[in-house]
Amino acid sequence: MLSSKYKILFIVFPALYFLDQATKAYIARTMNLYTSIPVVENFFSITYLRNKGAAFGIFAESGFRLPFLILASVAAVIGIIAVLRKLQPDENLTAVALTLILSGAMGNLMDRVRHGEVVDFLDAHWYGHHWPSFNIADSAICVGAFLLAAGMLVEKRRLYAQKQE
């Protein structure tokens, strides 16, 4: 029987990876580049963009960006899988967090391998002040990182409380 970490991996990973790839394909197929559809006026839009760089467009104009980003993504995927394999059966929050990060990393890695860039389309803004556009993969990475940090904080407090007893 599969342990809970593998159940989490085999359910969450394909669902998020498919959702990420399907939404990016749908946006690329149905919208023209740089067009925007307001969802909540002056707050949130669907805007079709392509990001050649990493987060916030870092390395977008660099000549080494694509090999570097692909290599960094592959290293991250390998590292996450290695950590997932070593998790204890009761570390479900960590398994969820790492699976979210893995799903996002794989989604953006596949875009870089196939297209040399990543499709972004979620556009959060306050009137004319825009947060950098992002996608489902980016969201999964951020939520996973938050859960990982929150889990570490809870564990640190638990260990501190045990020490005080």
Q: Which of 20, 111, 123, 138 is catalytic?
A: 138
Paired tokens of 110: 């596949």
Q: Which of 20, 111, 120, 123 is catalytic?
A: 120
111 given a catalytic annotation: no
120 given a catalytic annotation: yes
C-alpha dist (Å) from residue 122 to 2, 57, 71, 138, 149: 36, 15, 26, 10, 24
Q: Are 138 and 23 in contact (CB under 8 A)?
A: no
Q: Are 99 and 144 in contact (CB under 8 A)?
A: yes
> Hey, which residues are catalytic here?
120, 138
